[in-house]
Amino acid sequence: MNYLNPIYTEKTQCQDCYKCIRECPVKAIRVENGHAAVISSLCVLCGHCVTVCPAGAKRVRDDLGRARQLLKLKDKVIVSLAPSFASEFTGIPPETLVEAIKSLGFFGVSETAIGADLVSARLAEDFALARGKIASGTESDTKRLYLSSACPSAVEYVKRYLPEYERFITDRASPLLAHSRYLRQIYGEDIGVVFVGPCIAKKREADVWQTVDAAISFAELAGWMNDAGIDPGNLRERHDKNMGSGSGFIPFRASSGSLYGVDGGMIASVKKFSPSVGVHMMSVTGLGAIDAAIRGLKNEDLEVPLFMELLACPGGCVNGPLVSLKRPSSLRRIRLLEYAQNAPEESAALCDPVPELAGTLPIERPVPLSHSEDELRSALKQVGKLTIADELNCGSCGYDTCRLFVAAMLENRAEKTMCVSYMRKLAQKKANGLIKAIPSGVVICDSSMKIVECNENFAHLMGSDIESMYEARPGMEGADLEAITGMARFFRDVMTVDGPDVVEHEFREGKKIFHATVFSIEKGESSCGVIQDVTAPQVQRDRVIRQTRKVIDKNLAVVQKIAFLLGENAAETEATLNSIIESFSAIDEDDV
């Protein structure tokens, strides 16, 4: 496990499918010895590779142990519960869920959405101030483009891959950072804060910000409660009997910040604090959509300020990488909206004093590497891309183009074995070389008895006419095997679904006798035959030697059983047979 990066690869499960590379929006994957590893310096922790990996090889760092240890070390540990809890723990009232979590040993449970309320209130003030500056014309270079800082993955993406737009990211803390600062402000700096939600990127926030101690997923929380024998159903019954109404959240329930879990929720929350803020607002979800919406956008082209709510997960946090996959995203969205409908009007006004709300994730930007045309051409040649026509850009390696793939090769992020066309050609070359090197005749045909490949020895055995055909068209692809030789019937035998996998036959064609071994390559689709001319002198000698050895082996087996009967007779037989072998073996091939 790589503790420096929350996402890692279980190498024993990696299937070399390269799906994670195809799906990764930033290509933060390195292939080493056939296994895909996450490059932490490039990864923005969107978690898409985790959700799409067909083998489940992409794993998320388990921080449950850190949370458990925190309960032992701190007198007060508070859970910061993500807004999307309402879409995850359906059928469980908030007060019951709070009671279940507290049963694990937590001091209390607070909504991360309180931090969202604080951020929304401050953003409403920022937009009003910006609108006033533009209207008065006091500043010629007034910032008009505002990019949200609520989603840590989106912030990382902009800072790493759209660095020219970093200055447009609002200098406002994420909801988790704002919330953790507020909790420490009112409950003491010595408390512990554990985030629970569907976001992998929050684990990096916990690694970076000292106010957040650990981040775990909803599934980890549910498993923890199950291990502890805590049944929310029983707690609900007890709660209904012994406790009054209320959410149970401390210090109070959040307001419109609960909407942050869905796309457009942040915008709706900001408008709650300032309905007529005078700023254009739009929500963009998914890193690909974010790139398309921002790249090429110029601040000076905007007459009215534009605020863009950026969320890495399509549809918002309710579709985060660590949510339950058993529930449709539409239902998750509905459940969160239903919960937010009953939220109080304003909770930010209850926060006194207001914590520091500045600060976004510090990012170390990777230095982009460039490669000359000669370097790219040389790398392309390594994978058999000799001309522009060879650059198929099929994407099977995970990269959109062959040039991007070889650039990754030059950066030690990819291996040439990832190229399907290269491996196919390599396999074909090896097969062709093997077929040509075999001294016997070799022919491969398909289910319609059309030749797929054959060697020159096969054409030579079949006669001068076929040999001429081979010279005109090496390999004789497409030629009718049945028109060439009667041995085609043996191919049909192994081609049938219920037929044998291998057959051996001797057959006569003209003055020659052939020995054929025919076997199935792909049942019902293709088969291969290896043919020898047993009338050839060298083949005759080999056959005599082989047959004699069989006699020796069988005779010795009998001798071992009835040695007391045969006595010296067996030794004389063996000596005689061995002399036959020696006499044949001594014949020089030039004299045959």
For the chain, give the mean pLDDT. Answer: 86
Secondary structure class of 258 (helix, strand, coil): helix
C-alpha distances (whole Å) from 497 to each of 494, 510, 526, 557 are 8, 32, 12, 38
CATH hierarchy code of domain 7-60: 3.30.70.20
pLDDT-based confidence at residue 244 (cuts at 50, 70, 90): very low
Give first-to-last CA distance, the chain, whole Å: 68
More confident residue, 166 or 438: 166
What pLDDT score was predicted for residue 564?
Answer: 46
Does the pLDDT of residue 481 top 60, yes or no? Answer: yes
Return the CATH superfamily for domain 438-535.
Answer: PAS domain (3.30.450.20)
Measured distance CA(195)–CA(93) in Å, rounded? 19
Beta strands in 275-433 (DSSP E): 280-285, 306-311
Average pLDDT score over residue span 428-439: 81
Query: Token pair for residue 589?
Result: 């091939």
CATH topology identical between 373-424 and 438-535: no
C-alpha distances (whole Å) from 93 to each of 99, 202, 341 are 10, 25, 15
CA 482-488-492 angle, 5° bins: 120
Average pLDDT score over residue span 357-377: 88
Measured distance CA(54)–CA(52) in Å, rounded? 6
Does the pLDDT of residue 562 top 80, yes or no? Answer: no
C-alpha distances (whole Å) from 561 to each of 170, 554, 557 are 94, 11, 7
What pLDDT score was predicted for residue 60?
Answer: 95
Does the pLDDT of residue 73 top 90, yes or no? Answer: yes
Q: pLDDT tens, 216-229?
A: 999 999 999 999 99
Continuous segment of H or E residues that includes residue 407? helix 402-410
Measured distance CA(148)–CA(214) in Å, rounded? 24
How does strand 512-522 pair with strand 502-509?
antiparallel
Measured distance CA(157)–CA(204) in Å, rounded? 14
Query: Token pair for residue 269?
Result: 């929350």
Q: pLDDT tens, 384-416?
A: 898 888 888 988 888 989 999 999 999 999 888
What pLDDT score was predicted for residue 547?
Answer: 56
Q: Where are the domains of the chain?
A: 7-60, 64-350, 373-424, 438-535, 538-591
What pLDDT score was predicted for residue 16?
Answer: 78
- The domain 373-424 having CATH identifier 2.60.40: the answer here is no
Tokens 């908030």 found at: 94
Whether residue 353 is preceded by a cis peptide bond, meaning omega within 30 degrees of 0, is: yes
What DSSP character marks residue 397?
T
**CA neighbor of 149 nearest in space, from 126, 173, 167, 166:** 173
Instruction: For the full predicted model, state whether its pTM sits above 0.85.
Output: no
Query: Token pair for residue 132?
Result: 């006033």
pLDDT-based confidence at residue 560 (cuts at 50, 70, 90): low
What pLDDT score was predicted for residue 565?
Answer: 47
What pLDDT score was predicted for residue 236?
Answer: 58
Does the pLDDT of residue 364 top 90, yes or no? Answer: no
What pLDDT score was predicted for residue 32?
Answer: 84
Buried b (16+ CB within 10 A) or exposed e, 321-352: bbbeeeeebeebbbbbbebbeebeeebbeebe
More confident residue, 437 or 171: 171
The answer to whether the beta carbons of residues 112 and 179 sit under 8 Å apart is yes
The answer to whether the beta carbons of residues 287 and 127 sit under 8 Å apart is no
What pLDDT score was predicted for residue 273?
Answer: 85
